[in-house]
Each structure stands twice: as C-alpha cells, then as structure tokens.
A and B are shown apart, each in its own frame.
Chain A
Amino acid sequence: QVQLQESGPGLVKPSQTLSLTCTVSGGSISSGGYYWSWIRQPAGKGLEWIGRIYTSGNINYDPSLRGRVSMSIDTSKNQFSLRLSSVTAADTAVYFCARVSGYCTDTSCYPYFDYWGQGALVTVSS
C-alpha cells in the first residue's frame, strides 16, 4: 500500500521560503511511471493545484505561481519536495502531496490523483 507523508515547518514568516518534503513509502518513487504532485487548500476553501514532477525531471507548475515555486525529487530517499518563495498570508494553507496515476487506453491516458498525504498545515505569519 503506497503511503505519502508531508513534513516541514508549520510556520513561515512573510517574504521567506516555504519548504515541504513528501516521503513516499510502500513503493519506489522512480518506478511505475508516475508523476508526483503538490496541491494546497486554504482554510475553508477549495483545492488548488501547485504543480507536478516526474522522476526524469520533467516539471509543470501552475502559471500563477511560476517564479516563486520549485520542485525537486530525490529518488535515493524516495522523496519529492516543494519550495515556495516570497510567501504571504495568502499562501497559508494545508499542503497535500499526491501521486498522479492514470487510466490508459490505446489512444489516451486519463490522469488522476490516487494516493494523497494527510496534509500539512503551513501558516505564514510574523
């Protein structure tokens, strides 16, 4: 059974950098051809996709965060990470990591998030 667990500081000061790590257990992060993703949820609000990373280094970010966000993957530790710079109170949220799996036919693949971490609350405050 694949499990994901977020870790990192729960409190970050404005203008500083938020850093989170997702540790994957129950399977290798580099096998299976999966993307790995970050999603966040401000309190009482909906889900916001941040981006995704593949073990090859292929990365996609939400354009609204481009310039502030970066992701990396460490296959030796079975982890992937998120960094978000110049944070403000608007970045306060629960941050989830998730695996991107997919249903593939002869012609198309349909991605979805099948495994999620429990979420990590990050508060931006001085």
Chain B
Amino acid sequence: DIQMTQSPSFLSASVGDRVTITCRASQSIFTYLNWYQQKPGKAPKLLIYAAFSLQSGVPSRFSGSGSGTDFTLTISSLQPEDFATYYCQQSYSNPITFGQGTRLEIK
C-alpha cells in the first residue's frame, strides 16, 4: 500500500495568513493526488484534483502543487470558513489511501 504522510498534523493560523500543508507519498504517485476539506459532522469536499487542478466552485485562494512524492496545498489568504481538516489522497493505485489529516485552527 502507498502510505501518505501529511505535515503538520495540526496548524494554528490567523485570518489573512498564507498557509501551506505538505503531503508525502511513500512512492512516486506522479500527479495522482487529490486534496479535500472536511468540516465537523460533514462529508469531505474536493478542493484540488490531479495535484494542481482546482475543482469547480472552489475559491482561487486554494492551490496545489507537486509531483512524484511531494505535494503541497496552499491557502493564500485564510478566511474564517477555511478552518477545517484537510486530507490528501492518492489515486495512483489500489488501495486508495489518505493522509492522516491536517487540522487547521484559528490562532
């Protein structure tokens, strides 16, 4: 199985901050990498697919980059509604695996 490791696991930031979350795969997954946002009690929401493509309707302050084993999700200017947990997910091979999550909280 491909292991996905996110860092940090917890992040405290303020509205307006630029934040970056990192995801590392245990082997190359090319650009088969997706990012999701999850709020308490809700289903995950797709933000970024294929490493850097922004899902329709997602604000442009979200961006993704990377290929191979190292990926990043960047939020250029945090908004109050962005405080949530973020997950990366590889779709290169079965079984599909997710990172452990990064919880983004208000400082």
A→B interface (CB under 8 Å): 37, 46-49, 52, 60, 62-64, 96, 98, 103, 110-114, 116-119
Give the total of B residues in contact with A, Cβ under 8 Å. 25
User: Taking CB as reference atom, which chain A residue is nearest B45?
Assistant: A116
Chain B interface SS verdict (over half):
loop
Contacts of A60 in B (CB 8 A): 94-95
User: Taking CB as reference atom, which chain A residue is nearest B87?
Assistant: A47
The distance from the CB of B2 to the nearest CB of chain A, in whole angstroms, is 11
Contact flag A114-B55 (CB < 8 Å), given A46-B98, A46-B99: yes
B97 at the binding interface (Cβ < 8 Å): yes
User: Taking CB as reference atom, which chain A residue is nearest B53?
Assistant: A103
Please, how many angstroms separate the alpha-carbon atoms of A48 and B98 in the complex?
A: 7
Please, how many angstroms separate the alpha-carbon atoms of A99 and B18 in the complex?
A: 31
Extra 9 A-B pairs, beta carbons < 8 Å, given A49-B98, A63-B1: A37-B96, A49-B97, A63-B95, A98-B43, A110-B50, A111-B32, A118-B42, A118-B43, A119-B43
Contact flag A116-B98 (CB < 8 Å), given A103-B50, A110-B32, A111-B91: no
